[in-house]
Amino acid sequence: MKRTKYITYLFLCLLYGLLSSCSFEQEDSLLLSSNSGSFSTLGTVINTERITIDSDTYGTLLPTNPGIFTEKKVNILGQRVLLEILFLNEDKQNNTGDKEVKIISLYKVLTKDANIVTPDETDAALDETFGTAPIVITSSSISKEHLNIQYEIGGNDSNISHRISLLVPQNAQLDENGLLPVELRHNPESDLQINSFWGVVSFTLSSIPQYQDSAFKGFRILYKNKEGDDTHTVTLQK
């Protein structure tokens, strides 16, 4: 699959908490290693009895320190995670079998369904629910079961959960290139937009009916870059 690259510096800052982060709820770039020999990847929790991760990059991962998942309350089936990992057997890094890894850092990715917008919903109602605040897409990817978006937003109070949503018109059609038009929305709720906050969200592809179309090739994601009518579009192909 074709994926856009994550900005490595920002990605590592997310993992280490060097930047502020709100309490919301890739291919080649994620192969980059840090100076300590660790690697980063997005993945999905697929087993909670024996914590197992289906990595977008490395396949099945078996963490040797699973307690970190309980501590961060991410031991839920289907939960997406952003990990920094250390392979205990470097020879197995590129093999297809299960791989034991040590989790160096763990970031809980907001994991949710897309919102299907029906024709009878008014713009005013959508704006009230999903917000009109700016949100900048810094990177995006399509994995096996998710549309993944790394974003930047304005915020102030880390105790206020912002709402990040993907709006999919019920009657939306694929364009001539097989791309589906969707919109990324940000509702800061009662929070002030003073500082820069970073986050990652994964939307389930199964919640997007048009994804099942054999002609589907990817997304055209509309987002609001700043206050006013300034909008941008990201084209993402699978």
For residue 18, being part of any structural domain is answered with no
Residues 197, 102 share a domain? no
Q: What tokens appear for 174 in the block?
A: 């694929």
Predicted local confidence at residue 234, as pLDDT: 83
Q: What tokens appear for 118 in the block?
A: 């029906």
Ordered mean pLDDT values, 10 residues apiece, the chain (238 residues)? 38 42 36 62 97 95 96 93 90 75 96 97 96 94 96 94 97 96 96 94 98 96 79 79
Predicted local confidence at residue 217, as pLDDT: 95
The partner residues of 169 in beta bridges, in order of sequence, read: 117
Residues 223, 154 share a domain? yes
Who's near 207: CB < 8 A, 6+ residues apart?
Answer: 113, 114, 116
Residues 158, 210 share a domain? yes
- Tell me which residue of 198, 237, 191, 190 sits closest to 217, measured CA to CA: 237
For residue 1, being part of any structural domain is answered with no
163-198 burial string, b = 16+ CB within 10 Å, else e? bbbbbbbeebebeeeebbbbbbbbbbeebebeeebb
Predicted local confidence at residue 230, as pLDDT: 64
Predicted local confidence at residue 92, as pLDDT: 59
Predicted local confidence at residue 95, as pLDDT: 63
Residues 125, 102 share a domain? no
| Domain containing residue 146 | 111-237
Q: What tokens appear for 131 in the block?
A: 């917000």
Q: What is the CA radius of gyration of the chain?
A: 18
Beta-carbon neighbour count of residue 136 at 10 Å? 18
Residues 193, 121 share a domain? yes
Residues 217, 99 share a domain? no
How many domains does the chain divide into? 2
User: Distance from CA of residue 197 to its chain's centroid?
Assistant: 14
Predicted local confidence at residue 193, as pLDDT: 92
For residue 6, being part of any structural domain is answered with no
For residue 42, being part of any structural domain is answered with yes
Predicted local confidence at residue 228, as pLDDT: 60
Q: Cα–Cα distance between 172 and 148 in angstroms, integer?
A: 20
Looking up residue 72, the CATH number of its domain turns out to be 2.40.50.500
Residues 141, 92 share a domain? no
- Last residue in a domain, options 63, 88, 108: 108
Looking up residue 200, the CATH number of its domain turns out to be 2.60.40.2370
